[in-house]
Amino acid sequence: MAEQYTGKIEKIDDYRWRLPRDGAAGMCVDGIVYADERLMEGIKRDNALWQVANVACLPGIVGPSLAMPDAHYGYGFAIGGVAAFDVETGIISPGGVGYDINCGVRMLRTDLTEEEVRPRLDRLLGRIFQAVPAGVGSEKGVGKLSREHLEEVLVKGSGYMLKQGMATPEDLEGTEERGCLAGADPSSLSQRAVERALPQLATLGSGNHFLEIQVVDEIYDSRVAGLFGIHEPGQITVMIHCGSRGFGHQVCDDALDVMRQAARRYGITLRDPQLACAPVTSPEGKRYFAEMACAANYAWANRQGIMHRVRGVFEEVFEQSWERLGLRLVYDVAHNIAKFEEHPVNGETKRLCVHRKGATRAFGPGRPEVPERYREVGQPVIVPGDMGTASYLLVGTETAMRETWGSTCHGAGRQMSRHAAMRAKSGTQVMQELAQKGILLRAADKRTVAEEMPDAYKDVDRVVAVCHGAGISRKVARMRPIAVMKG
């Protein structure tokens, strides 16, 4: 059982809380938590604050140890944790990225309306369920890759899918890092990691991964929404949430063994062994980044492959090309990743290793990393909620650039363990409740449905309201699900 956080907690305003650096032993910087009163109570209960304080003790941390309003207890870092480390003096930690490396979400817009889709919705969802493999260990991807082709995926990410005719240049432009994190090197990957990667490209997986057909419920900023391709309530969108599958899990597992030894070798004191890490510039640190980048690129290629299959199903069901149906990518964002970025620190631009673990990049206007077509307003931010409520499209802000290294929340965040959820309701009960709301559901396993029931998650409206109120991202549109596919 983890220790409890017993240090000071200071309320800054309606959306921010401080864990002062002198409030707990070993903290090098403050902790800052974004939450309202009710969300903060939940964050305290599951002991995510202890993890925020632990991260504040790590060498080379720059600025505060951060937690987003969807934060909850995780491995090493809290899920919803953000921290930046000086490249020269700081560390890189697998616990600050997570097991599902580049678990992320992409959103497609369409020119279809709910009125046009409803009569064909059951067929549409059924065909997608057939076309996109899902479930634990699903291994019917784009065809088992050769080792040579796999290495190309790991180095080029979405660029490999472009070469295979499963992506367009516009798709790459609308993907964070253009779907390829530089610095990937497959040469040191374990044989087990390679074996897990070979059959799973373009598969959804299980757990909290999903594919949803949604309808635009409300538009908050018509100008920004229009730039993102969202024009009116009733418009159909599609959301795909998944990551690097068993491959990313294995990369993390392998790295933790190396990092535990490295922390001892470099004399790094850890308040929690799950924060095993190495200096960014060390051989172990460089190796982890190179392998993590492989998994990140695999995840982007994975989501691109799924999107390609979804487009094909829409073409089949509506008997028109996906281009005529307007099935264009709005954006794709990573949730679990460490990246080298330049940010101002005390008036000087510094290169930092920014860990986002269950958090989304939310770069504001003008940053060159934001696609040119969005640069004047900022980066699209996609925030999925639970399968019975809503998801959001947000936009990054200057406030996020100043306060959070350009970061915001990544979803609703769990408030109930999977075991507790399964004790509370059966999968059949959840499916019946969703049907009463007009939401179709297809799932590979009813146990996953129970684990992922809406009550297992925090109120996404409240989470997003905190981000909007604090100014670290702004509301653009709200979407509600009408059809859900789960592993």
Question: Would you state the pLDDT for residue 447?
Answer: 84
Q: What is the pTM of this model?
A: 0.96
Report the C-alpha gap between 362 and 378 in whole angstroms.
Answer: 8
Catalytic one of 72, 241, 249, 410: 410
Report the C-alpha gap between 117 and 115 in whole angstroms.
Answer: 6
| Residue among 212, 221, 209, 205 nearest 108 (CA) | 212
Q: Residue range 43-54: average pLDDT? A: 95
pLDDT at 142 over 80: no
Any idea where the domains of the chain sit in the sequence? 10-415+457-486
pLDDT at 135 over 80: no
Question: Would you state the pLDDT for residue 427?
Answer: 83
Q: What is the mean pLDDT of the chain?
A: 95
Q: Residue range 313-342: average pLDDT? A: 98
pLDDT at 216 over 80: yes
Residue with tokens 């996404």: 460
**Of 2-16, 53-67, 222-236, 417-431, which range is least confident?**
417-431
For the stretch 381-422, pLDDT in tens is 999 999 889 999 999 999 999 999 999 999 998 877 777 887
Question: Would you state the pLDDT for residue 251?
Answer: 98
pLDDT at 23 over 60: yes
Q: Residue range 98-112: average pLDDT? A: 98
pLDDT at 141 over 70: no
User: How big is the CA angle at 309 (ends 305 and 311), to the nearest 5 degrees?
Assistant: 115
Fold of 10-415+457-486: tRNA-splicing ligase RtcB (3.90.1860)
Is-catalytic flag, 355?
A: no
For residue 429, with 0-12 CB atoms within 10 Å meaning exposed, 13-18 middle and 19 or more buried, which class applies?
middle
| Residue among 384, 443, 452 nearest 416 (CA) | 452
Strands 360-361 and 336-345 come out as unpaired
